[in-house]
Structures are given as C-alpha cells and as structure tokens.
Structure 1
Amino acid sequence: MSDASRVVLGLGGCVDYELKLTAEVLEQLITTYGISAVELTSPTAAVAGERDLVVSILGYVARGQGGEHFVASAPALSTFADRFPHRTTLGGTSVRAGLLLDRLGIPSALHLVTVNDDFRRLLPADGEWFNSGTDDTFYPHLIVQFDAGLHVRSGDIDITSPFPNRLIYVNDPANETMRLTDDLGDRLAQASVFLISGFNAMRDPALLDDRLRALRTHMAALPASAVTYFEDAAYHEPSFSARVRSAILDRVDVYGLNEDELQTYLSRTVDLLSPHEVADAVTSLFELIPAPAIVLHTKYWAAVFGSHADAYVAAVEAGVLMAATRYVHGDHFTDEDIASVRRRPRRPAGFGTSLESLMDGRARVIPGYILDVADPTTVGLGDTFVGGFLSAIAGVSR
C-alpha cells in the first residue's frame, strides 16, 4: 500500500484563470453595457454572457462577499479573463488541498475528472492521481479576486468593496458530469482520510442521484476508523445541496463550510463577531445539517461544533494557520513564512470564550491571526484551510 493511498482527495478539479479586478476595466464595462445601480441589488442567479457576468461581479464587490456561479457562455469567461492580466493555476478544493499536503510532505491520491497539459505541468511530479475521464479536456474556471477598498464609479454606480474576496465562474462539462472511477472503492479500502467535494457543479438531477448512489457503494469499503470530510460549496443548482446531504450525510464525520454558505442556508446575514448571533445560527444549522462535527471557517475565526468537537481542535488550528499563510504569502510560501505567521498576534479570544459557553461545551473556537496585508491572496483560502485541517488528521494516522 502506497503512503498516498492513505489520503484520498476527491472528487473533481479544474484549471483556473486567476485575475484581480481593477476599477478602470470595470468602469469601462459598465459604460459599454449600460449597467445601472438597480441591477446590483441581489446576486445574479443566471449568468448568460459577459454582461450578466459583469453585473454579478459588481454586486458581489459592493457587498464584499464571495460566491460561485455557472455561466452559460464558456467564451464569456475567456473574453473577460483576457481583459486583465491573469495566470493559470490548478483549482478545486481537493486539488488545492492536495497541493498543500504535498508542500507539507504528506502524500495523497487525487481523484480527477479532467486532465490536460496544465494538470501534468502543475501537479507535483511525484504525486499520485487517477482520472475518470478518457480524453484530455480543458474547461477553465474564472477566478476573480478583489481587494477591500476597490472603488468603482460609473454612471449611477458608486460602490466600494468593504472586504477582499473571491468569485468563481464556471462552465465545465467534466465537473458537471462528475464521473467516478471504477476503482475508487478499492482505493478507499486502504484510506484513513477521504475528502469529498465538487458535487456543487452538477446540473442534472438524475445524474447527480446516480453519482451519489455510486459514491455510497464505493464508500462502503472505507475502514471504520477512516475520517470522511465533506467540504460544502455554492451549488450551481441550489436545490441540489439538500439532495447531496440526504444521500451521504450519514457517512460523513466532518462537514465543513464557510460564512457565505452558512448565511445562504439560513437566508439571513449573521454578525460573525456576535457570539449570540453565531450561536443561534449554528443551532439552526445543526437542524439542517445534523453532522457529528461541523467546521465553520470564516474571515475572523474558525470553529468546530458538535459532540465530537474536542477531537478536531488541532486540525482547526492547522487549517487556520495554513489559510493565513496563503493569505499573506500566496502559493510559494516557505517554512519560515509559516513560522512568521504563527508568531503574529491573534484576534481577541473573548469572542471564542463566549461562543463556547453559549454552545454548552459543544464548540471549540480558534481565533484568526491579525493580518494587515497590502496585497493579500484571496483565492483558495477555504481549500487551503481544508488542506491544513486534513494535514493534522493525516499526520496522526501515518
């Protein structure tokens, strides 16, 4: 048994076009497309072409929120990307988590649904991966970053982003299909850690149900001691989230999500610095998602809730550290960078103490680091948190 087979990361992955927004280009596009302020009042559910894409992005910038959407026109993604300097990277929660584990010296095996020359170039040369597809495919995702304070003014639009964040726009048939390899169960029979992510890109309900049935069959081979981590995401078809949960929640040990997903489920804004509001929100969340442990990672703190909270404190701590390091130093951080971030001051502990008390001991809260950075990396922070979390679990099981 290879060391990599102990940590199986799935289920999809992608090539990303990463760019950072500038006010000048956005203002030009507002004029070109005749976009008005009233169009920015709510997230755009349907993104048909570049105009819809610009409206969607502006709405998120105004709120300082992150999100993910399907885009009906694949050429619109490339057209928009070509308006900015951008770089090609690999994305998907499982892939970014795997890249971090490799950086930390922990082998893993990636289940992929698409490969191409970019994958072969950017994945670790000695890494293990297996692909459910039969041919090379290329469906790049548009990853849009924006800084806090980005000010866009054109026509009757005058917005300033209150927070830095990232947006994801996708047209990806391979991840929509989410074909599973026939030997996934054989690999899971040897696993101590299994990451599930990626169903959020699917759009066909019958195909989704078929993939979920197949996944349950494969998961039956998991050893009883294995830890299964499910990382949530913004579903292109929002109703599919409940279908996924009902199919596999009983096989999940840890259910992870961020503050955007939390607030979407509750259909309300949550003050993340109010212990009472967060306690009420998490209590409501458990009614919807009765997992043994829920991990919530936010811009201010991360926490694990539930009867198994104590078992994952070190893992949450590792996730916070790795995400903070990526935020400050980007992709190519060093051991010295990790050590430097670890020495940074933390946010006040009083919030966590109050929240833990309100949750009657069913919570462990890790405060975030104070990160005053002029040019932060906002892409992949949740994925990096997951990789850091799993590094602690995998390190124990090695």
Structure 2
Amino acid sequence: MTSHVVLGLGGCVDYELKLSSPILEQLIGEYQIHDAELTSSVTVTDERELVISILTYLKKGGGGEHFVASSECLNAFAGRFPKRTTLGGTSVRAAMEMSRLGVPSTLHLVSLNDIVRRLLPASCDYICSGDQDTLYPHLIVQYDQGMRVRAGDIDIRAPFPNRLIYVNDPANESMLLSDELGSLLRDARVFLISGFNAIRDQPTLDRRLSALRSHMRQLPAEAVVYYEDAGFHEPGLSQRVRDALLEVIDVYGLNEDEMQSHLGYPVDLLSVTEVARALESLQALIPVATLVVHTKYWSAAFGERAGEYAEPLNEGIVIASTRYCHGDEYTNHHYELMQNRPRRTESVEFAAALEGRMGGVVRCLPGFDLDVAAPTTIGLGDAFVGGFLAAVSRGRS
C-alpha cells in the first residue's frame, strides 16, 4: 500500500445532535441547576455535569472538547434528542473532504467497525492498529446563534453558533500505532498528525510519541507534516506533545478557541493590534516554521514561508464555508458557487491591515459573508484541514 497523503492518527463514530431549548429547560429543572454553577469544568462525570458544561459553553458561544467519565451518561443524553450517525475525528473528516476534491488518502485508524466501513469513501484506504472491531461513539452537540434557554434563574442566549465534543473512547485514549505506519510514510507527500489530545495518561502518551518519531524517520525529506491542535482531555499533556514533535512539524494548525486557550486571554479577532500581538505570542509558545490559525472571520499563516500557503488557506476557507452552509449534503455546485461569494467586509479590511502591519511573515485571507439560518458547526475545522491539505498535495503551495 502506498499513498501520497497519510492522515492520522485516530478516528471515530459520531452521534450528532442539535440542542433544543425545551429539553434543556426540562433538565435544568430536573437537576436543579443554577446560573452560579455555569463555570468551566475539565471533566464530566454524570449527566447533570454534562448539562452544566453545555450551558456554560452556550452562554459564551464557545466550542470545546471534553472527556466524559461515563459512556452511559453520553448515551442517556444522546437518547433525548434526534441524532445522526456520522464519522468523526479530524483525520477522517479531512479525508472525506479531500475525497470530494478528488484527492485520495490513506487513514491510520485505531478503531474499526461496520459503520466506518460503510461510510468511508471508496477513495480512502486505511490501516488500523486495533485487532478487533470496536465502537465508542463521540457525542457532538451543535447549537444555533440566538438559541435561548430560560429556566429557574438561568436566562441565556447563544451569541454565536458552535459545537461541543464529549468523549469516552478507550481506543483513541490509548492511540495504539500500527506497525505498518512507517512503511506507509515512505511515499507520503503530506502527513497529518492529530488525535493525541484524547490520551489522558502521560506514560502512554510518551510511548506513542516515541513510536511516532520512529515511524516518521521513513518520511521523505520534502514531505509536509501538518499538526492540527485540539482540546486536550488532560490540558497539561499538550506541552509534552509540542516538546516531542515541534522540530518535525512544518505547519501547526489551530482554531480561535485553541489559540485563546494557549494564550490564556481573549482576543478580539477583528482587532489588528490584538491579533498581531496574539500571533507573535503564539509563535513564542509554539516555535514552528508556520502557524495556521483558522477562525470564523479569517484564516492566516504566520512564519517566514507564510506566503507559500495562500492557496491552501483559500481552499480551506472555501471547503469549511461550504460545509457551514450546506452540511454533509453539499454538492460540487455548492462548492463552485461558494468560491464566487463576497467576502465579509470587516474581514477584508482586517486581512489587508494585518498584512500591512506585519509584512511578509503573515498571509491572511478573509472569510465569506455567510448568513445561514441553520448552519452546520460540526467539523468545520476538519473541513478546513481537508481543503488546506488537498491544495498542498496538489502542489498549490
């Protein structure tokens, strides 16, 4: 098996659901939840804490990812809403978007089952480190801008649409690497690293990082290695991944939530002064050749080679925006129409001003002007990665 594009390292089955106010308001009453309890929590152990976590994010319009101690809690909550069964994980969703663009890939999976076999596009090959079928669904919760929840002393309205991820997945938590990975990388032009955020045990993480570095020795020198950040289930382990991998990463990607989490303070995404400072501070924390930050307003590459990534940035924006408007059902026609839509005026002005201020070390492309009543907020970052890497694999960087 050979592949020019190798995407890893995990993947999963997702239960996608959209929140509704009446059910949340009923749960607030049943569990006697109060506004003072709506504060951030790293872990969730039962359904009451799950509802509190969701309400906390909804209140600020944020997105995030969390470990949940009980799979029964996830199943119970999912059973309260209509849901769709889809495939998830950054690498898997990126592969599916790349398939739409005519770019085949090979996935490294840690969990396999009949749902994965049925839903993966024919152009996606895979290897799997698991020796038997397993199924650990992730709960993906989506909400719309303006969603209002009123019960007891709680009265909140979501300022933005977003998505939340809740996980209890032993296969991804272990992230066992296949012995075949190294040989698969010999012919790779592009290699995506994602999924380490699910590991919660430091010795396990260290072993996997060491094994990955060993496999990566077989990568061709010209291969582009892209690392996509994510919400770590144990935030303290994020630095260990960076320490182990930064010297072998070409592009380090993250969204606005992850950027602000690393910095430890909020950033006005349309303030040139604040974003310029944020990018410089982020590069000090994550000294990689090229940083890529993708947000709802713009996407930017930052580093000495930033100018080489203009077309991948644009492809990522187009694909993510098409998904935002049309979800999994988008067509080539939707994709083509998106390329000609107008860009957000404030984003156009921001991008020009940021490049004017920072010079050639930054390339910033504005997002599209999108007004959608019921947008898809699930998988937008993964779609961006798929579009970005499709352009890189075609030599458009």
TM-score relative to the length of structure 1: 0.98
**CA shift digits 1:58-102 (9 cap, x unpaired):** 000000000000000111111101100001000000000001111
Q: Write the mapping of 1:23-38 to structure 2, written as runs, cut at 5 A.
A: 23-38=21-36
Shift of 1:126: 4.6
2:199 equivalent in structure 1: 202
Shift of 1:343: 1.7
Shift of 1:358: 2.3
2:76 equivalent in structure 1: 79
**Alignment pair present for 1:267 and 2:264:** yes
Shift of 1:153: 0.2
Residue aligned with 1:360, SS? helix
Shift of 1:15: 0.3
1:332 equivalent in structure 2: 329
Q: Write the mapping of 1:47-126 to structure 2, written as runs, cut at 5 A.
A: 47-126=44-123
Structure 2 CA distance for aligned equivalents of residues 175 and 202 of structure 1? 7
Structure 2 CA distance for aligned equivalents of residues 206 and 354 of structure 1? 45
Residue aligned with 2:277, SS? helix
Q: Which of these residues, 287, 292, 302, is aligned with residue 290 of structure 1? A: 287
Contact 1:297–1:303, Cα closer than 8 Å, also in 2: yes
**Alignment pair present for 1:227 and 2:219:** no
Shift of 1:117: 1.1
Residue aligned with 1:316, SS? helix
Residue aligned with 2:369, SS? coil
1:370 equivalent in structure 2: 369
Q: Which of these residues, 14, 23, 35, is aligned with residue 12 of structure 2? A: 14
Structure 2 CA distance for aligned equivalents of residues 317 and 105 of structure 1? 17
**Alignment pair present for 1:255 and 2:232:** no
Aligned length in residues: 395
Contact 2:323–2:376, Cα closer than 8 Å, also in 1: yes
Structure 2 CA distance for aligned equivalents of residues 371 and 347 of structure 1? 8
Shift of 1:357: 2.3
CA RMSD in angstroms comes to 1.1
1:237 equivalent in structure 2: 234
Structure 2 CA distance for aligned equivalents of residues 279 and 141 of structure 1? 35
**CA shift digits 1:208-246 (9 cap, x unpaired):** 000000000111111011000000000000011100000
| 1:303 aligned partner, one-letter code | A
Unmatched segments (≥5 aa) in structure 2? none
Residue aligned with 1:331, SS? helix
| 2:136 aligned partner, one-letter code | Y
Structure 1 CA distance for aligned equivalents of residues 365 and 239 of structure 2? 28
TM-score relative to the length of structure 2: 0.98
1:215 equivalent in structure 2: 212
Structure 2 CA distance for aligned equivalents of residues 168 and 358 of structure 1? 36
Change (3 A) 1:292 1:391: same
Residue aligned with 2:232, SS? coil
Structure 2 CA distance for aligned equivalents of residues 116 and 294 of structure 1? 35
Residue aligned with 2:359, SS? coil
Contact 2:185–2:216, Cα closer than 8 Å, also in 1: yes
Contact 1:192–1:397, Cα closer than 8 Å, also in 2: no
2:383 equivalent in structure 1: 384
Shift of 1:289: 0.2
Shift of 1:353: 1.4
Shift of 1:46: 2.0
2:357 equivalent in structure 1: 358
1:183 equivalent in structure 2: 180
Structure 2 CA distance for aligned equivalents of residues 376 and 32 of structure 1? 30
Residue aligned with 1:299, SS? coil
| 1:365 aligned partner, one-letter code | C
Structure 2 CA distance for aligned equivalents of residues 20 and 322 of structure 1? 22
| 1:383 aligned partner, one-letter code | D
Contact 1:27–1:152, Cα closer than 8 Å, also in 2: yes
Structure 2 CA distance for aligned equivalents of residues 96 and 353 of structure 1? 31
| 1:244 aligned partner, one-letter code | V
Structure 2 CA distance for aligned equivalents of residues 164 and 27 of structure 1? 19
**Alignment pair present for 1:311 and 2:308:** yes
| 1:184 aligned partner, one-letter code | L
Contact 2:95–2:124, Cα closer than 8 Å, also in 1: no
